[in-house]
A and B are shown apart, each in its own frame.
Chain A
């Protein structure tokens, strides 16, 4: 059975000859949270850009319902002239959802991501963590069935990042979307996912896959358990192998 998002031998060679992706095959099913780790420049963003149709793969097939994709970029890409509430409303506006329905949805997700009280602030008044929450909320408004994350917390300090990890996991359990998450951080990958994929350097291909056995909801204390450290170690070793 094909997943909500499925890659079938997807490869990408840019017009300038750069071969960014060398044949990726995997599925992401609803209720799965798959994380991709890999050296920078190995084609991780390209993978997401293909999934969302921002880029067209030169090889293979990528299957996904394009109308139900949420995409969270590394920078929050909030529109600075809109307040938090107005930013969160944006995508619903672009999709022609009517005003009453939009207001209702915005109110719900603002509570969900913990931005109550910040509705009328402008992005320049927000910290990095708050901006990322608003960015998440903006996508959540469209109730995506497939959620793509391109290193969303990479620029945040560790404490904020861990807090947002927990909040995103809570949303994942609540909404049951199919998640595809890119990160540089191995512990973030293991903490969040049902499965961790390791990509080799360019042209990126999946060289290792680790099922993560821990039950959801995951507690913060999991990060200090030996079996957690052990799995992180295995991913790290695979990643080192992928670098050569």
Chain B
């Protein structure tokens, strides 16, 4: 995946261009943008075939069915009793998507609020930063027994795991963005008597948008991971997320469904990544220039 923000190429300033001439911007998709991913895709499928028909020892090949078998049994069989086929995969997928989205929304709200408090009051930053760093490096999955013991309800437990895993990047990037406004821009606001609130809404937040979107994208990806992985640990009654479903297929040795479920979970992650890339471009693409080495 290439950087979704980098498709607007800006002509580098040239020493011969007079300072009074407007700068031209171009917007084009290069052939390499398509050929590259296509080549990798073909190589991936070829490697998969090689693995499942030759490279793996014969007694293990049932674990990795060939691509066309996965397509036929995992994707193009709708429902075939005993939870086989695509339907149960999509059902559990939907459950995980809900958990990821709710968790992400909670993360964004709390994370942004905390970052704002940290940016405007030094003592909040000092008081909370060490614990955020600790949270970021804590093995959340090791805490699952504790979470299970303290909190009732599978759904709440799963959402909490998502929030814990996705929290740090939002706070970190938003805070960094809010605090890295140029000094001269702050002085402009000082000169004209701007209040703290005006400064925050008209200067710091707009300036932080590129960073906020970086944080959003990372946190969104982590929320998918948090939801899928959380499923392994929290399942009860009718609530089965895609992670739990994958574990069930593994136990029953249903290779095609197993692979199909993994591919769909990855596709979900990819969709989230692309959606946030798109949102980012929509929100800041017009004015923000991504810099990139030659």
Q: B259-283: which residues lie under 8 A (CB-CB) from chain A?
A: none
Contacts of A77 in B (CB 8 A): 182, 184-185, 188
Residue of B at shortest CB range from A117?
B22
Which listed segment binds B: A68-76, A199-207, A209-217, A226-234?
A68-76
Contact residue among A81, A94, A126, A130 (Cβ-Cβ distance under 8 Å from B207): A81
Tell me, yes or no, whether B98 is within 8 Å of chain A by CB: no
Contacting pair B287 A94 (CB below 8 A): no
Indicate whether A81 sits within 8 Å of B287 (C-beta atoms), given known contacts A54-B187, A71-B191.
yes
Q: CB distance A130 to B192 under 8 Å?
A: no
B-contacting residues, A17-73, CB 8 Å: 52-54, 69, 71, 73
The answer to the question of A2 belonging to the interface, with a C-beta cut-off of 8 Å to chain B, is no
Q: Which of A91-137 contact B (CB under 8 A)?
A: 91, 93-95, 118, 121-130
Number of interface residues of A (CB under 8 A): 33
B19 at interface by CB-CB < 8 Å? yes
Number of A-B residue pairs having CB atoms within 8 Å of each other in the complex:
79
The answer to whether A80 and B191 have CB atoms under 8 Å apart is no
In the complex formed, the residue of B with least CB distance to A70 is B191
Instruction: Name the contact of B287 in the complex, choosing from A69, A71, A80, A129 (C-beta under 8 A).
Output: A80
B191, B198, B286 interface centre (most CB from chain A within 10 Å): B191
Bound-state Cα–Cα, A123 to B25, Å: 12
| Interface residue from A73, A81, A94, A125 paired with B209 (Cβ < 8 Å) | A81
Interface residues on B, range: 20 to 34
B106 beta carbon closer than 8 Å to chain A? no
**B179 → chain A, closest Cβ, in Å?**
17
Report B57-115 residues with CB < 8 Å from chain A CB. Answer: none
* Chain B positions 177 through 211: 1 when the CB is less than 8 Å from some CB of chain A, otherwise 0: 00000101101111111100010001100110100
B3 on the interface (CB 8 Å rule)? no
Q: Which residue in A80, A95, A118 is a CB contact (below 8 Å) of B192?
A: A95
16 interchain pairs, CB-CB under 8 A: A54-B190, A69-B191, A73-B184, A77-B184, A81-B206, A81-B287, A94-B193, A95-B192, A123-B287, A126-B22, A127-B18, A127-B22, A129-B20, A130-B20, A157-B18, A160-B19
Q: Top 10 nearest A-B pairs by Cβ distance?
A: A129-B20, A128-B19, A160-B19, A94-B192, A129-B19, A122-B287, A160-B20, A81-B206, A156-B19, A77-B184
